[in-house]
Amino acid sequence: MARINGGEMLVRALERENVHEIFALHGGHLDAVFKACREHDFRVIDTRHEQAAAHMADGWARTTGRPGVAMVTAGPGVTDAVTGVANAYLDAIPMVLIGGRSPLLDDELLPLQGGIDQVALMRPITKWARSVAHTARIPEYVAMAFRQAMSGRPGPVFLELPIDVLFARAEEESVVFPQNYRPKSPAGPSRAALEQALRWIDEAERPAILAGGGVWFAEAAKELVEFAELAHVPVLANAKARGAISEEHPLCFGAFGAIHPAAHTRRGGKSADLVILLGTRIGLATGGRNSIIPGDARVIQVDIEAEEIGRGRSIDLGIVADCGEFLRQAIAAGRGIKFNGHEGWIEQLTTMRAGQRQKWDEAMKVERPIHPARMAREVAQALDRDAIIAADGGETAAWIANAFKAREPGSFLSHGYLGCLGIGIPFALAAKVAHPQKQVVCVIGDGSVGLNFAEFDTAIRHNLPVTVVINNDMQWGMSKHGQVLAWGAGNTVATELGVVHYERAAQGLGAHAEFVEQASEIAPALKRALNSGRAACVNIMTDPDVIEPGTLAMYSAFSGGKAPKTAQAETKTDETMLPYYGKRKID
């Protein structure tokens, strides 16, 4: 009778989840798995840092809608992956992290890469974290991990495999591979709640849908478009949902900020009177002290998790349902309703959108120094219609977010609640693994690019021809600009980087290299990079004095949008400016 080890069991269980790619960094604790991967023709993308492996599993899920799998060795391998897991946790991204562990038999003996409770370390930043103590149960635990990652609100999970459990063998016939361990149909809204929601949409003069990751992971992009067209409701999306409705669609109006009351009152209009939070949690822009949702608007929240309803603000109608099922039932019930056309509201948003797209037209005429808006627009114009962007950096991500048009879900990958820098290159590499036929471009700040720069080597070794465009303003842009706005020019510290030829370092790792100082050189350099057939680095020197509007907005409550003349300006008020959080009175 055949005997198989834990590595073979794990890989067979992953195959049942339609997983054939693993992002990893080698460690001997996991060699039983690596050997089985080779025998089963798994693709193992080995990175230069475990943080990058975790970010790649996160990025894979963001661009495919399916859980990514990362595998790291015991001890420092697990601790290095913490940031990537935390990033996925705060953004509700489904991923499975498999971690090695020292032998169970050596507990309390301070073995190599042992002595820490890895499950306890991961528990606060995962939906579920477990250690496997019996070899034959590995497939059962893999099934649990995927069920936890994908059921309800998605999120990362951690599965620990002690080396003596993983390398042990069991009779093949005695190993059970679970089947049918997830629900066949998603949870839907109650009839009363659905009727109320449709009635309010029909009554509203200025409704808006704020779509989030719940739409993408419910595979409901098609239904979102159909319902928006049926009810004539404008759609706005966060980074996870961008492209769920094409940003060329007349009912798509970009990011959530388009309904900020201030943007409408400045133009003599009114903002939304009904807001539908569809698979997006309340926080950052939608709740707390800085919400973009008008205080007098009705709010409907649709979320798969009841605990998310009403987080941080009052909700007029909370609906616990899968976003896809809610939309399907809303479409079926809404066909019998003649909805308000909302023409005036849509025209108002259309005018605002046109103004936003033309905002930086003057910057397009400047050759040098290169305006970051020019850099972003040149990148967006150089890409195929189905290209994928990974955006990374405080101000850099915002510049490219405004210039790029996402036409498909999973085509714009960027920051979330953790505000984690260093995601760009790993996200881009994961997207290229998932979509080898598409252009994949990472647009990244010169600060962020330092965090996972060695992954250029990963790109070359694994033949992943991504193009990395560096917005090089010679500083940590958002940080330096914030210091200038708060303290005045000449009072900055720890925010200068200087001129660095990142393209030369990338070239040393095997990448195609371009250095750009003139705006007219951007398009030709991008064309050469995209056509090089290998990973490329395009290092673009941009104007360090241009402040992205989002940074200016964060500090405007304190400084009036202008840098104070002296560093003592902040003492003239009893309120303190907290970077990123605005003006607060602190006793």
- Cα angle 103, 109, 111; round to 5: 55
418 contacts: CB under 8 Å, gap ≥ 6: 86, 87, 90, 91
Active site residue 65: no
Distance of CA 253 to the CA centre of its chain: 19
Instruction: Give the SS3 label for residue 284.
Output: coil
Position of tokens 């306890």?
120
**Active-site residue, selected from the candidate residues 21, 50, 223, 325:** 50
Can you tell me the distance from the alpha carbon of 441 to that of 433, in angstroms, rounded to the nearest whole number? Answer: 13
Active site residue 113: yes
- Roughly what angle, to the nearest 10 degrees, separates helices 549-559 and 477-487? 20
Tokens of 364: 């397009």
Active site residue 455: no
Q: Is 18 exposed, middle or buried (0-12, 13-18, 19+ CB in 10 A)?
A: exposed
**Active-site residue, selected from the candidate residues 6, 7, 27, 29:** 29
Active site residue 29: yes
Tokens of 139: 């497939």
Say how many C-beta atoms besides its own lie within 10 A of residue 37's C-beta.
22
Tokens of 114: 């042992």
**Active-site residue, selected from the candidate residues 341, 355, 419, 561:** 419
Q: In terms of Cα–Cα distance, which of 250, 235, 248, 246 is closest to 280?
A: 235
347 contacts: CB under 8 Å, gap ≥ 6: none
CB 292 within 8 A of CB 260: yes
Task: Point out the residues that are catalytic.
Answer: 29, 50, 113, 419
